[in-house]
Every structure is written in structure tokens, then in C-alpha cells.
Amino acid sequence: MHTPDCPRELPGAPGDYFATVIDSVGDGVIVVGTDGRITLYNPAAEEITGFSRRQALGTTFEKLFSVETPLLEMVAKTIRTGITISDHENVVVRSTGKISPVAVTCYPLILPNGENIGAILTLKDITYIRELEAAVRQADRLSTLGTLAAGLAHEVKNPLGGIKGAAQLLERELPDNSDMREYTSVMIRETERIDRIIRELLDLASPRGLKLSPVNLHRVLGDILLLQQQAVGPRDITFTKQFDPSIPDIMADEEMVTRLLLNLIRNAIDAMGESGRLTVVSRVLSDYRMTQNERNSRMVAIEISDDGPGIPAGDLENIWTPFFSTKSSGTGLGLTICHKIVAEHRGMIKVESDQGHGTKFTVLLPLVQ
Ligand SMILES: Nc1ncnc2c1ncn2[C@@H]1O[C@H](COP(=O)(O)OP(=O)(O)OP(=O)(O)O)[C@@H](O)[C@H]1O
Ligand SMILES: [Mg+2]
């Protein structure tokens, strides 16, 4: 084989030179012989896969990557056919258990005489690219205002904790009958209020992702209504449930769906004052199409209606905007959060309001994600 001149500054034999070159490549490089054994494994490959060179060399590729079926198929195909295959959607499971997305290309290793003696895999860790893509999608969703507010919220969080702690210490120092206690309790209550707003804002801005599991909507609604019935106390508010018993569990994030329904039910109760009727209806819409993305999945509809004063026509378009509230103690984030939760579940939310006659919020959620 023709050996190129080695640069003078690199000591040792040509083999060392090539090894140094391969070891210096930032992408993972793995060479597999036709017998399936690994013959080369560079440090970047160690870093990406979590397997050390010592573990890898001499072992069969199939044994080391037993669960990464797409990788096994690529190597087998390249060795069999001598063609180059790329796959940018693969996932390599590190031996540490962490899953990192990698872009993989598998080249045939061919001698000058045309003999195919194995495959060369290059692996590029694209975790960072995936994170960037997710961040871009997230930034798209959030308005500039929301992002700024979240940044500000983060900055305010720590000093706020300090103020609350100091107010609590101050309160402890005061005698039980001191007039000053009124001031400290205002300080503590208001810092708690800011803290709640900040937590909601940060929540709104954080890319949490859905934790999907089968959710029994009727149980969730039943639990919320039970608790809210106790919370309304002496107010004369009637709760009516009309549930379609044929609704199966839906695939959703239970914590988020609970928050969504709780926010809507609380708003309805807030709107009704001293007396009223809250009605919760559930239905399956069997042939409902999500026309905007051409999905054709079955949807569940949940309607939450109240017979309160309704929402003035001029306010209807503002209710989803962060901080829009007509309540003295409202944050105005409730419906913004509801909107985000529904969008993340690929659902829909709409409102119909008849001033003087009440309001109906309808949430559509797909049965499966
Ligand atoms: N069922 C309803 N009937 C009448 N008005 C409503 C109803 N639901 C929402 N609204 C109006 O929409 C506004 C925004 O609601 P949203 O839930 O976002 O904030 P909030 O309830 O004021 O505050 P928070 O939810 O943070 O306590 C409310 O202040 C109210 O004016
Ligand atoms: Mg609300």
C-alpha cells in the first residue's frame, strides 16, 4: 500500500500518524469488519456512545449495539451491498442510559482491488441541534413579551425570596399584639402573590414537554368538581355533570389537563357571584376533523358553561392575552395557560358568550396523540 510522507513533527510510525488523525476527528468513527467485529473505535465514538474503546474493540458490533436496530441494519446492509447509507434520525443509547440523537453515515470499507472488507460508521452527536430546534419552536410559540417577562421573572425570583424571608423574621420578632403585624402580613401575602405569578410565567415559558399517559377525564373532572363544591362554601352554586360514559381514557398529560379544566371551572365559579349553575358536559366527536393540519383523529369535547354575566364582546378577543384580567386579584394568566396546554395537546379551545346569559368554554382534545 502506498504510504504518504508523515509530517516530521509527528513521531513514530505511519500507523501512529493515522491513529492520531482518526483520534482527532470530532465525529465518532467506528470500523466494523465483514465478520461483524469492531476494529477501530475513536475517542469521539467513546464519548457519543458511552462505550470505551477497550469494551468495543474485538467485540461484535451486534453485541455492543444490540438494541439500536437501525444501526445494526445500516452496518449489515453496507457490508452486504457496499453502498453508503445515511440516517439522521437514529438514536444511540449510551451505556450510561442517556439517549442522545445522532446523525449516522455508514460507508463501505473497500480495498483498491474492489474487495469489501467492512463498514466505516461516522456518528455526529446532534443533541445540541435538536435542542436548538426545540428552542426555536418554543420561541416561535412565545411572544417576545412572554420571553422578556419570563427573563424578568427569573431575575425577580431570588430577591423576592429574600424579602419574604426577611418579612417572616421581622414578624417573628414582633410582639403578638403589635400593630406592625398587619404590615408584615401584607408583605408576606403580597410576596406570595408575586411568587405565584412568577411561577406561572416561568411555567408558561418553560419547554416542559408532555408527560403522556391514559387519562380518565371523568375522574379528573369529578375530583375538581368535588373540591370546588367545597370551596364555594355557602354560595348557592349548583354543579351539573352530563358525562358520556362511552368516553375512553385519552392520551394526555394528566397534570396539565387538570390545570386546564380547573382554570376554566374556577373562572366559571368566579363569574357567577352568589348563585348560579355550572354545567360540565363531555362528548365524543366521532368524525371531527382537525382541518388545519389534516389530522383525522377522534376528539373529545368538554363544555364548561356558567350562567354568569358573560364576557363583553369587546373583551372576547383579549381574554387569551397574558395579564388580561377584570378581577382585582387575578393574574390574567389562567386562560393563556389553558390555551398553551390545549395547543400542546393538538386540541382546540373556543368560547361563546352571551352577555347577560352566561359563558361556555369548549375544549376539544384528541383521543390519541
Ligand atoms: N366564565 C367566565 N365568565 C366571565 N368572564 C370570564 C370567564 N372566564 C374568563 N373570563 C374573563 O377573562 C379574564 C381572563 O381570565 P383568566 O383566567 O386568564 O384570568 P383571571 O381569571 O382573571 O386570573 P387568574 O386565572 O390568573 O386567577 C377574566 O378576568 C374574566 O374577565
Ligand atoms: Mg382564571
Domain ranges in the chain are 14-128, 142-205, 212-366
Residues 6+ apart with CB under 8 A from 234: none
Residues 6+ apart with CB under 8 A from 202: 150, 153, 154, 157
Cα-to-centroid distance, 345 and ligand 1 (Å): 22
14-128 against 212-366: fold identical = no
- Identify the CA nearest to 282 among candidates 247, 238, 307, 250: 247
**CA 256/CA 42 separation, integer angstroms:** 44
Tell the residue nearest (CA) to atom 9 of ligand 1. Answer: 267
CA atoms within 13 A on the CB side of 273: 5
How do the pLDDT tens digits run along the chain, 369 residues long? 444 454 545 555 667 888 899 999 989 999 999 999 999 999 999 988 889 999 999 999 999 998 888 889 999 999 999 999 998 876 676 665 667 788 899 999 999 999 999 999 999 888 777 776 765 665 565 556 666 777 777 788 888 989 999 999 999 999 999 999 999 999 999 999 888 888 887 777 766 688 999 999 999 999 999 999 988 989 999 999 999 999 999 999 999 999 999 999 999 999 998 999 999 999 988 655 444 444 456 889 999 999 999 999 989 888 888 888 999 888 888 998 898 898 889 888 889 998 889 999 999 999 887
User: Nearest ligand, CA of residue 269?
Assistant: 1
Question: Grid cell 437514529 — which residue?
Answer: 90
The response to whether residue 333 sits with its C-beta less than 6 Å from ligand 1 reads: yes
345 SS3 class = coil
The response to whether residue 42 sits with its C-beta less than 6 Å from ligand 1 reads: no
DSSP 293: G
Structurally, at CATH architecture level, domain 212-366 sits in: 2-Layer Sandwich (3.30)
Cα-to-centroid distance, 201 and ligand 1 (Å): 16
- CATH code linked to domain 14-128: 3.30.450.20
Ligand 1 pocket test target in 280, 321, 325 with most atoms within 8 Å of CB: 325
The enclosing H or E element of 254 equals helix 254-272
Amino acid at 322: P
The response to whether residue 330 sits with its C-beta less than 6 Å from ligand 1 reads: yes
The response to whether residue 359 sits with its C-beta less than 6 Å from ligand 1 reads: yes
Rg of the chain on CA atoms, in Å: 30
